[in-house]
Amino acid sequence: MSQRIYQALVSGNTKLAVVGLGYVGLPVAIEFSKYVQVIGFDTDTRHINAYRNGVDLTSSVGEAIQSATIEFTSDPAKLREAQFVIVAVPTPTTEDRSPDFTALMQASQTVGENLAPGAIVVFESTVYPGITEELCAPIIEQASGLKCGTQWKIGYSPERINPGDPVHTFSTIRKIVSGMDGESAEEIQKVYDIAVKAGTHLVSSIRTAEAVKVMENSQRDVNIAFMNECSKICDRGRINAHEVFTAMKTKWNALDFEPGLVGGHCIGEDSYYLLEYAKKIGCGTPILSHGRHTNEVMASYVAHRAVKEMLAVRKDLKRAKVLVWGITFKENCSDIRNSKVADLIAQLRTYQIDPIVTDEWADPETVREMYSIELTPFEKLPPADCIIVAVGHREYQSIAMEQLLKMYKNDLQNDEKILLDIKSIYPLEALTASGLRFWRL
């Protein structure tokens, strides 16, 4: 086998291009740039300008961006200099929860129009089986006039990074790789092995690699849904769910899942891709469909619970100060896409509650644009009737109980001070001793 592109990359005779520099593409580009020449291409000039100025808009690579040698560009013609192209553009869902391939198709067109003969194109965007070869490859073929398989090759390598997690990163997570044939598979594996310290796992086909991604995330979705269901059962049965889950984990084969709001760009979306694929091939999905629905309605369940707690101590919903801590889809991360906290806030508003939302991780302008929500800086939050800790950011975890109690209105008894600790960031003993009226998922 030739390993022609691998050899050219490590000897500096060709470049690697990353198309789409967001939460996935930027870390990929940064990591590869430690070993080979990298072109970072994005259609969003705001991103490109920020990266050129050493500003990491995704908060995922930190200061590494300041010393990175990446050639950041919005000029698609630059892609002609690369023999290895990685595509990491968004694959969200539409409003009716169908897969949205718009960015993927546009990126395929751009890559095709600027494809170097002999190149390998690897898609990292999450898709369901068949999309890389049946949707992307024909677009690239047509735009380039080059035949796939003989004049260029294609592969797929799903991204598994975990935003906000400094341990599980691009180079420390084992990478699934695949190619359209033996030669491309070997070359793709060799190239990823340059930057992925945890190593690669080669699968036999692109469709297999595509299936791995949507199935591993759907597996999480279903398991979290079950924990949400158990949490509701415990709540109705007046059993402490958290204590049950902690005790369950003492068994050797327990699964480590927690209840919660499932949002974001991955777990909350990828199940819809698998559902679409199963529908296309006529396969039933009772477990996945029900699990997804269970998770989809959790925000309204929590909102309803907050209202119940407030009415129980005769709060005036219209006048009550309800603070929501956190709006990002998960802790220690700036990503607000598909935030279920936004759904929670929308639900609270249907009860005429006007929640005051804070999140130092999120960009206020993006929150305003995406959800029409104004963020309030943490230090400017008014004294509360009810605090909903929706996201377990590390800053919230470090707030002592004494300090937390001071964040409520002065004239309230402790049992009128309501706390909804959705992520269970406060220990049960501390909550019980505080006298707060609290509820956890």
Residue number with CB closer to ligand NAD (38 or 420): 38
Provide, rounded to whole angstroms, the least separation between the CB of residue 383 and ligand NAD. 36
6 lies in the site for ligand NAD, by CB under 6 A: no
Member of 7, 13, 44, 415 binding ligand NAD (CB under 6 A): 44
Residue number with CB closer to ligand NAD (92 or 383): 92
Residue number with CB closer to ligand NAD (5 or 266): 266
Residue number with CB closer to ligand NAD (22 or 291): 22
Member of 19, 302, 362, 425 binding ligand NAD (CB under 6 A): 19
25 lies in the site for ligand NAD, by CB under 6 A: yes
88 lies in the site for ligand NAD, by CB under 6 A: yes
**Of the listed pieces 84-92, 241-249, 309-317, 356-364, which binds ligand NAD according to CB under 6 A?**
84-92
40 lies in the site for ligand NAD, by CB under 6 A: no
Q: In what order do the strands lie in the sheet with 418-421?
A: 356-358, 322-325, 386-389, 418-421, 437-440
110 lies in the site for ligand NAD, by CB under 6 A: yes
Member of 266, 327, 357, 386 binding ligand NAD (CB under 6 A): 266
Member of 33, 83, 125, 178 binding ligand NAD (CB under 6 A): 125
Provide, rounded to whole angstroms, the least separation between the CB of residue 203 and ligand NAD. 17
163 lies in the site for ligand NAD, by CB under 6 A: yes
Note if 136 is an active site residue: no
Provide, rounded to whole angstroms, the least separation between the CB of residue 164 and ligand NAD. 9
Write the binding mask 90 to 109 for ligand NAD: x where contact by CB under 6 A, - elsewhere.
xx-----------x--xx--
* Count of positions on this chain that bind ligand NAD (CB under 6 A): 28
Member of 15, 47, 175, 340 binding ligand NAD (CB under 6 A): 47
Residues that bind ligand NAD (CB under 6 A): 19-25, 41-44, 47, 88-91, 103, 106-107, 110, 124-126, 159, 161, 163, 265-266
Task: Tell me which residues are annotated as active site.
Answer: 266
